[in-house]
């Protein structure tokens, strides 16, 4: 599934392969992500979604192949379980966004409805509050490319809605987003494009509307029937 080089692509991979302990976690992946798009990365548990995100972001090294992407300083990643420093929410944000002026920081906390939690220890925050803190920490640097690894998994409806709204606003402001999800309604609601991965291989890459209406591969069709 090779795609042509295009100046509108912000990220491309060429035969990207990751092998660990003799096992192919990613197997010759070729993909292209259009600048400004919101792409949903879907697949069964263990399909390679998180490995792909971490490899694209540079947290894992590829065994072979090539990645063409913006410099690391223009990328951010938010994990399913956010990585937070053991300090107050305010100090955590200040650490991850050292150049953000005080009034801008307060504006970000207000945007996430976290004003009352600014001086709360990060590990005393609820799961939704922790995820919102991680997300505004990533968004405040205005990345060109944002990776989201199931950012609303196990969160309540209110937190999920708030986080989805912040993601959509970032996308509307021009941030390119690649996001994993196990929630079909969420993927259909938010995604413009879908990448479907199975056993470390990219099986489908097509517009979200086409994918959810009629996926090409039987394995993707079966996945949707059980999602």
Give alpha helix (H) positions in 79-156. 89-96, 102-111, 127-139
Three-state DSSP at 186 gives: helix
Residues 6 or more apart in contact with residue 183 via CB below 8 angstroms: 152
CA distance 28 to 201: 7
Secondary structure element (H or E) that encloses residue 157, with its range? helix 157-172
The two tokens of residue 112 are 């996430």
**pLDDT tens digit string along 30-48?**
999 999 999 999 999 999 9
**pLDDT tens digit string along 175-225?**
999 999 999 999 999 999 999 999 999 999 999 999 999 999 999 999 998
Q: Is residue 1's pLDDT more than 80?
A: no
**pLDDT tens digit string along 97-136?**
999 999 999 999 999 999 999 999 999 999 999 999 999 9
Q: Is residue 5's pLDDT more than 60?
A: no
Question: 3-state SS of the chain: helix, strand, coil percent to 5?
Answer: 40, 30, 35
Locate the domains of the chain by residue range: 9-70+144-225, 86-142
Please determine, looking at this structure, whether the domain spanning 9-70+144-225 carries the CATH number 2.60.40.10: no
With contact defined as beta carbons under 8 Å apart, do 108 and 138 qualify? no
Tokens 């517009």 sit at which residue?
A: 207
Which whole number is the average pLDDT over 60-67? Answer: 98
**Would you give the end-to-end CA distance of the chain in angstroms?**
24
């Amino acid at each position: 599934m090779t795609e042509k080089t295009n100046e509108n692509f912000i990220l491309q991979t060429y035969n990207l392969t990751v092998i660990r302990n003799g096992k192919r976690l990613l197997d010759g992946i070729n993909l292209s992500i259009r600048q400004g798009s919101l792409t949903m990365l879907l697949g069964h548990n263990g399909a390679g979604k998180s490995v792909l995100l971490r490899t694209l972001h540079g947290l894992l090294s590829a065994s072979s192949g090539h990645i063409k992407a913006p410099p690391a300083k223009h990328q951010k990643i938010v994990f399913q379980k956010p990585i937070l420093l053991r300090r107050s929410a305010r100090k955590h944000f200040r650490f991850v966004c050292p150049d953000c002026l005080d009034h801008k920081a307060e504006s970000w906390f207000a945007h996430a409805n976290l004003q009352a939690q600014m001086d709360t220890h990060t590990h005393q925050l609820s799961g939704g509050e922790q995820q919102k803190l991680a997300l505004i920490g990533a968004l405040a640097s205005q990345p060109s490319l944002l990776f989201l690894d199931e950012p609303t998994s196990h969160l309540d409806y209110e937190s999920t809605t708030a986080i989805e709204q912040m993601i959509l606003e970032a996308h509307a402001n021009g941030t390119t987003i690649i996001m994993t999800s196990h929630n079909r309604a969420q993927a259909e609601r938010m995604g413009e494009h879908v990448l479907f991965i199975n056993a470390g291989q990219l099986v489908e890459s097509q517009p979200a509307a086409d994918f959810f209406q009629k996926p090409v591969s039987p394995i993707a069709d079966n996945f949707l029937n059980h999602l």
